[in-house]
Structure 1
Amino acid sequence: MKEKQVLIVGLGLIGASLALAIKKEHPNTRIIGLDVQKESEAFALKRGMIDEIAESLDLAAPEADVILLCSPVEAVKKQLQIISRIPLKESVILSDAGSTKSEIVDLAETLGLENFIGGHPMAGSHKSGVTAGDERLFENAYYIFTPGKPKDQKRIKALQSLLAGTQAKFVVMSTEEHDKITGLLSHLPHVIAAGLVNQSKAFNKEHPGAGRLAAGGFRDITRIASSDPVMWTDILLSNKETLLGLLDNWRGEMDQVSEWIAAENREAIFQFFYEAKETRNQMPIHKEGVIPAFHDLFIDVPDVPGVIAEVTGIIGKANLSLINLKILETREDIFGILQLTFKRKEDLERAKECIEKETDYLWYEK
């Protein structure tokens, strides 16, 4: 039987990670890679992420059984236009990994690409590019499929089988529902986080001490503002109507809070925070959602030479990978707080076991 050929266009974090996950579950699948960065293609080939570098989309697409477009939204739209003019296999499955779906799926339908299934693996990392490729990136994350009309169950099941190595949780929904949900749970928070950071930049010029204090909780709640500006420009413009409505609602709510503060309406302010607290407490803890989860472990450590090397040595010996390490507070003769950030919940749990076994330091999670 002839081996299945999968063409992956875009060898960044998502494309490279999907290639690794497919290879893990289907080692006989031949993966062809294509990227605008020749260095990325060479790296992916050298590391065995792909089996071959495509000469061009025009030449590689006709031979592919599956085509995965793992580029930014605007690039995917251009690639769809090119693909619509290429003679493809009748049985080919075409999908993407874009963060918004309505524009892409609508365009595919307009171009007559009936074999297109919209896709969005809801996973990410603090790292980017082909070198950050990780076959475990999508574990327990949601992988959304947004088929056109009518729903193509056969191709959806074939995609789920191909992507079984991701160990993601597959969900099928409409493009409209997807864009509204991700608009509120991902796109709006990114706008707010970026706005807070930009506001703090201007504030820091008048109050230089604020920059030093911002290294604590403020930095944590705004860390999604470090996301790729090119990608997020595309996302916001491709989900324009949803974002405009959400921003109007957000402005209205902030105007209401402003009125309560001006009127010293203690009851309304209390209720505002109380409802937020109750709602957040009901949210699932450490589940993979729209925004990639980071798992923080806080350790009380004495402020003595070598303590950080001791803790990181324990983590390294256990072969655990840290996303970030930060000292929240250190003063002479008292305990400081060492923050260790992990990508996966199981890594955090393993770190707790090792630290409990080898030290008497106290730890806690948020």
Structure 2
Amino acid sequence: MRGKVFVIGLGLIGGSLALSIKSTHRESVIIGYDVNKEQSRLAVMLGVVDEIALTIEEGASEADLILIAAPVQETERIIHMLKDCKLKETVIISDAGSTKKEIVGCAKVLKEKGITFIGGHPMAGSHKSGVTAAKTLLFENAFYLLTPDKHISDSEIAMLKEWLSGTKAKFLTISPEEHDYITGIVSHFPHMVAASLVHQAEKTSHTQTLIPRLAAGGFRDITRIASSSPSMWRDILLQNKEVLLDLMEEWQEEMEKVKKMLNKENSAGIFEYFSQAKRFRDELPRKEKGAIPAFYDLFVDVPDYPGVISEITGYLAKEEISITNIRILETREEIYGVLAISFQTEEDRERAINCIEQYTSYETTIGL
């Protein structure tokens, strides 16, 4: 396809969408815009976009496709700006927000102008941010949810999919309401729970001084999503308020059920509760990308001597294997390993296992 694509927001998601489109539609021109001028400069320098627009109005005027890769509340503001812009009659506008009902509802102002808007949510991310972390295949094999309003035609959806074919994502078309309910369960609510667990630990740490040290292992890992952007999660919670309030009610009922089993010392019930959870969790696809970016962790049982970390990282660097995080664990329940290394993909983790086995005799364990 040939045309002009305008990407608003040149962070990880916007930059990766731009690169995926460039990889497939080489004759198209990718125009970018970001309120952060440094991100814009880097986007051009790195070849993520071909040109930079000074304003949204300028970039949108001749675009065949407009992608909004901004926080959800900012996306609504941009939609209202676009409704007053002079746009091509055939333009398709989409977004990449984590909530859909409010945004698709907001986009009715575009519908009134005869402008096509199709809600979108590429369900992939990274532990890095900014345009420098953008990757052509960030969304490869990830689910890409499209949430068109009822008046959107199949041909318009097909056109958007063709523009986005370079993502190599798995496209699913669902209603905005279904999107918000599903992502509420598998993404938004887990982030709330993780944050609440951290709050509980922080509150208790005032009287139990060992908590920060002991939480450095498994607790830190199971609550790591609590380190996500506070402003982003503020907006998501407010946008998906109704769903999350219902889920909180259901969670309270679930905890009451556990509380009753504990009060009654219902050994069989407690065992079955954990057993059922284990069965369902173990049956979840391990190699599928889901709503929350996967963490590909590797735990290495290393001897305690100076230079052992640089030794391991040196071997990984020699094999050109990138890592996203590395840390020492003082304690790690049920896992033998003191050096925890995180990777961006499962392929990188597998290569790291082979690398460490090749150069050392250290035992490795993967995080499940």
Q: Aligned-pair distance for 1:342?
A: 0.9
Q: 2:55 aligned with 1:69, yes or no?
A: no
Question: 2:185 matched to which residue of 1?
Answer: 184
| Structure 1 Cα separation of the partners of residues 124 and 274 of structure 2 | 30
Instruction: Give the conservation status (yes or no) of the 8 Å contact 2:217–2:330.
Output: no
Which amino acid in the other structure matches residue 51 of structure 1? D
Could you list the runs of 5+ residues in structure 1 that have no partner in the other structure?
none
Letter in 2 for 1:276: A
Kept after mapping to 1: 8 A contact 2:296/2:343: yes
Cα separation, 2, equivalents of 1:137 and 1:109: 30
RMSD: 1.8
Match of 2:310 in 1: 309
Q: Which letter does structure 1 place at the counterpart of 2:45?
A: K
Tell me the distance in 1 between the aligned counterparts of 2:153 and 2:326.
46
More displaced stretch, 142-151 vs 125-134: 125-134
Secondary structure in structure 1 of the residue aligned to 2:297? strand
Q: Which blocks of at least 5 consecutive residues in structure 2 are unaligned?
A: none
Q: Which moved more, 1:244-253 or 1:40-49?
A: 40-49
Number of positions where the alignment pairs a residue of Structure 1 with one of Structure 2: 361
CA offset digits 1:24-77 (Å, max 9, x no partner): 222322111111112211121222211111121222212111000111111111
1:333-352 superposed matches below 5 A: 336-352=337-353
**What one-letter code is carried by the residue in structure 2 that aligns with 1:315?**
L
- Partner residue, 1:220: 221
Q: Is the 8 A contact 1:303 1:336 kept in 2?
A: no
Q: CA deviation at 1:294?
A: 1.1
For 1:55, the equivalent position in structure 2 comes to 54
TM-score, normalised with respect to structure 2: 0.93
> What does residue 291 of structure 2 align with?
290
Deviation, structure 1 residue 237? 1.0
Q: Which amino acid aligns with 2:187?
A: S
Give matches, 1:1-366, under 5 Å.
3-112=2-111, 114-329=115-330, 336-365=337-366, 366=368
Indicate the larger mover: 261-270 or 82-91.
261-270
Contact 1:123–1:138, Cα closer than 8 Å, also in 2: yes
Contact between 1:108 and 1:114, CA under 8 Å: does it hold in 2? no
Q: Is the 8 A contact 2:116 2:152 kept in 1?
A: no
What is the TM-score when the length of structure 1 is the normalising length? 0.94
Q: Residues of 2 paired with 1:26 and 1:345: CA distance?
A: 28
Match of 1:146, SS? strand
Q: Percent identity?
A: 51
| Cα offset, 1:179, TM superposition | 0.8
Deviation at 1:329, TM superposition (A): 4.4
Q: Match of 1:91, SS?
A: coil
SS of 2:85's equivalent?
coil
| Cα contact 2:24–2:166 (8 A) shared by 1 | yes
Opposite residue 19 of structure 2, the aligned amino acid is: L
Any conservation in 2 of the 1:102–1:175 contact (CA below 8 Å)? yes
Post-superposition Cα deviations, 1:290-345, rounded to whole Å, max 9, x if no partner, equal 00001112222222333222221111111111111122249xxxx85322211101
